Structure 1
């Protein structure tokens, strides 16, 4: 009886929620401007607001004229003051949390999450599930066990501000109606050794009625592989009632075939776009491509055409200005005190009614040693197409330029760890090169102009990327190995894993 009630209550809640979201989908442009002006008004008396004349900002253009695009280094002096317990610096109060993330140039980053911002982190994930339930007309998963593969929920404190990984922070806000069904246990969740943690998670879940599993694709694969190795069965054989995977953090498509193979049966997928800076988008229709941009969740968005990013005259576009199928650097102003903040992600709009996006790459993750500016979306689509034509499967890859080869012209080197190698590697290489040339005209011009030779593939041993991540202290957590680089720092370290 209780299970029947939970399932039907979820169906009713989901339907009501989806109906309520209709307003923001129709009025995104108008609501975004109103949101920005509201944020500016709230922060008028903050240090940042006084320095940037918030009191006299009455339009988006006036905001853009007064507030330059910033990265973490630009905001770091303000954040350092907040870390010392000072209020009214970036936002009216000190943050409720700092989400601690790893940075390359700045060391650890401390991203503020205000008491106004935190509910939207939770609401984004809830909304994704409610849309799924409504579209599927099925909420069976609420009666089974759910696992969230995440970082440790243990917090430290910096002048009274709770600090930890975003996934660990979110663990403290899981709704009460899901807590009973949630795994793993607290003692397992706080383990820092990721491999030992996954082993313990397996112990706690292998005999349970798992219906929902959430995590970024590399974590899912590691968990599924260990389960399969231990039991000699596909995941759907172990968990016949598994209905849903919720994932985010990286593009899911390059992992889809591998995960499908491990599952061995039909499981629905919801892709999401969360970050420490906010919950931006989710797949509101699990049967279609694209993520619904959340324009009423305390975040004002700007978009810089990728080819202009980093240039003084770069245009800062808003929703009304964007074009479909173009790549934009994502710029955020949030109700946690981030102002015109460049998060480093690149998005591509595929729909305007409502606004739906794909995450197409990172502003710092590209290959352009020869002026080609190849981005993640292009290489991931190229390898997906090549794999389909050659029935091969990959585990992971990394692309780096080889500027000074021992002989011949320079080239792109693809270091690939295959799950299943193509029958003919040379044909696969040619196909991959052709697919990339179709997607990037600059790369094609370099090949046809004999500036570059066609790409090379270097085969890596099994578990190469796992061992590399482990050797760099980047196993688990929010760590993701960049798939593209403009130098050979990662490529050279991967050399020792060559076949």
Structure 2
């Protein structure tokens, strides 16, 4: 055992003990975070506008601070971007994480001297948690690759601006610098396809032990390696045994990854966002990710089925239940207050508090009142794949309310890993599992309001072409799993092969 791996195991044990302290006292941990946030932001513009000085409880907070999304918080953010101090949080941010917006174009998410270290600590602790549980620290001696955005940054009114993954690249600890790949020069390549080729050039000769990134883009990296070498990824990198991912559910990709690698590898799931690092997988045997309750983030949870009510309940960690779909609301040391990040989660455990990401509150299908969410289509896909052994590369779902003939239906755009001649059984299994997952969908099928789902096969590389056509190829960009309209579907039809 190397000195580095031995030290990692000792450090992992220390961090585990620290984690247990707050994980075993979750309500107290959140109360402390809440009081610290209110106290430190009292004299900011936002704090004065919302009378933070008189807030002493969550009930007070609910009365004075409404839930907002980025568009509603934007007047304050614009003042921060303009260079003003003490608007949302004391002083000025260290960085802005630039993300894709909706009606307002780009979004600028502040990262402060208090919030930025929490991103780094959470990513580190996720790996240390794995080491503590498994005793496996050998991978720290190998090379580690993190497929991410460019670390190059712009500047706006004295504040640096970039993609979160690129900003994080500036904070890689010294003891990992020699292990970390790709090189700075390669990481700065903007064109994703060129970047992947350069990453392969650098990594093929190396002892790769850890690979991290969004599954769809790591899959592209793996496929290119196989094209280059004619060998499975696990043969090219015999010591590759840990895959770290976040941002999307890995289950639809798991079978394909095993095929590309040639064997199973351990994985760690993360729940990071520009707005905060919320959770990481802390157990190989328990479902869900440990919600980080002492990381400068105060959480509120709104039942998703009541989210659009005028006075929807805003629950604290002490009030949640397992198995309920909640919209995640956050207040942070970056100055985001009762902020709706758009993600929905469900608790798998309350001792400790573990969550799974179930989708996006804006990404659903309810064109006929069915309110299908991301978790349901992913579970249905997982079940159909398991039953048939069919592997897929990517998929998304949209409603078709005006078909040329017959009843409306849900259209599943699927890029299969291999050509499939007969998809009747696969379609039947998908539809049956969807009916099991969602009683409203089942009622609509039974009542002949909708007909069973229809699969449209997307040609090989079609989803990559789509993402490229909308300027979102690579990096941290993710394909929406669901749409309630036909915007994505219309473009994909241009890339489709044969409608079933």
- Cα deviation, 1:24-44, whole Å, max 9, x if unaligned, reads 111111221221121011111
Q: Residues of 2 paired with 1:36 and 1:258: CA distance?
A: 43
The equivalent of 1:170 in structure 2 is 168
The equivalent of 1:114 in structure 2 is 112
Q: Residues of 2 paired with 1:234 and 1:365: CA distance?
A: 35
Q: Residues of 2 paired with 1:140 and 1:366: CA distance?
A: 42
SS at match of 1:372: coil
> Which 5+ residue runs of structure 2 have no aligned equivalent?
none
**Aligned-pair distance for 1:144?**
0.7
The equivalent of 1:91 in structure 2 is 89
Q: Residues of 2 paired with 1:138 and 1:407: CA distance?
A: 58
**Aligned-pair distance for 1:4?**
1.3
The equivalent of 2:412 in structure 1 is 414
The equivalent of 1:486 in structure 2 is 484
The equivalent of 2:71 in structure 1 is 73
Aligned partners of 1:390 and 1:422 also within 8 Å = no
Q: Residues of 2 paired with 1:215 and 1:450: CA distance?
A: 42
Q: Residues of 2 paired with 1:286 and 1:184: CA distance?
A: 28
**Aligned-pair distance for 1:267?**
1.3
Aligned CA RMSD, in angstroms, stands at 1.0
| 1:323 aligns with one of 308, 321, 324 | 321
Aligned length: 497
Aligned partners of 1:154 and 1:168 also within 8 Å = yes
SS at match of 2:5: helix
The equivalent of 1:403 in structure 2 is 401
**Aligned-pair distance for 1:421?**
5.0
| 1:123 aligns with one of 121, 132, 135 | 121
- Cα deviation, 1:462-490, whole Å, max 9, x if unaligned, reads 11101111111110122111110000010
Aligned partners of 1:392 and 1:421 also within 8 Å = no
The equivalent of 2:59 in structure 1 is 61
The equivalent of 1:265 in structure 2 is 263
Q: Residues of 2 paired with 1:397 and 1:186: CA distance?
A: 33
Aligned runs of 1:165-204 on 2, under 5 Å?
165-204=163-202
> Which 5+ residue runs of structure 1 have no aligned equivalent?
none
The equivalent of 1:339 in structure 2 is 337
**Aligned-pair distance for 1:146?**
0.7
The equivalent of 2:274 in structure 1 is 276
Aligned partners of 2:217 and 2:475 also within 8 Å = no
Q: Residues of 2 paired with 1:353 and 1:420: CA distance?
A: 42
**Aligned-pair distance for 1:347?**
0.3
The equivalent of 2:391 in structure 1 is 393
The equivalent of 1:453 in structure 2 is 451
The equivalent of 1:222 in structure 2 is 220
Q: Residues of 2 paired with 1:126 and 1:178: CA distance?
A: 11
- Cα deviation, 1:15-74, whole Å, max 9, x if unaligned, reads 111111111111111221221121011111111000100000000110011000000011
Q: Residues of 2 paired with 1:10 and 1:398: CA distance?
A: 40
1:356 aligns with 2:354: yes
* TM-score, normalisation: structure 1: 0.98
- Cα deviation, 1:319-356, whole Å, max 9, x if unaligned, reads 11111111000000001100000000000100011000
**Aligned-pair distance for 1:219?**
1.3
**Aligned-pair distance for 1:422?**
5.2
Aligned partners of 1:145 and 1:208 also within 8 Å = yes
Q: Residues of 1 paired with 2:285 and 2:320: CA distance?
A: 25
* TM-score, normalisation: structure 2: 0.98
**Aligned-pair distance for 1:235?**
0.7
- Cα deviation, 1:58-106, whole Å, max 9, x if unaligned, reads 0011001100000001111111111111111000111011000011222
Following TM superposition, the consecutive aligned residue runs of length 4 or more in structure 1 with deviations greater than 2 angstroms are: 286-289, 420-424
Q: Residues of 2 paired with 1:465 and 1:181: CA distance?
A: 32
